[in-house]
Amino acid sequence: MAVGVDVRELLEAAVSGIAGQTRPGQVEMAQAVDTAMHEGSHLLVQAGTGTGKSLGYLVPALVHAIEDRRVVVSTATLALQSQLVDRDVPALLDATEKLLP
């Protein structure tokens, strides 16, 4: 975890920034992704519709990027790519800007 940056706190800010509520599976996923990214280990996550997967991996990716580490997010569809670029990433940055160093 980056100094002063807590994945759970960023996730809560991001979710409330889009008028949502964090879900236990989403929190668990975000923490697992964060751990895997910092350990350099592999992680496979399967989560159902409505879990909040996008923020579940984008929040740890943001923490990783804050640490000046490169992050690449690959999507299977152009629709998801557009959702991330046009909606999810800008909303994440707006919702968490006050918490970022």
Residue 49 in any domain: the answer is yes
For the cut 60, the answer to whether the pLDDT of residue 2 exceeds it is: no
Average pLDDT over residues 6-10: 91
pLDDT in tens, 56-78: 999 999 999 888 788 999 999 99
What's the whole-model pTM score? 0.87
Residue 72 in any domain: the answer is yes
For residue 4, what pLDDT is reported?
Answer: 60
For residue 3, what pLDDT is reported?
Answer: 52
Residue 1 in any domain: the answer is no
Q: Are 31 and 7 in contact (CB under 8 A)?
A: yes
Q: Which domain holds residue 85?
A: 7-96
Tokens of 77: 């569809």
Q: What distance in Å separates the CA atoms of residue 49 and residue 62, rounded to the nearest whole number?
A: 22
Residue 14 in any domain: the answer is yes
pLDDT in tens, 22-45: 899 999 999 999 999 999 999 999
The total number of structural domains in the chain stands at 1
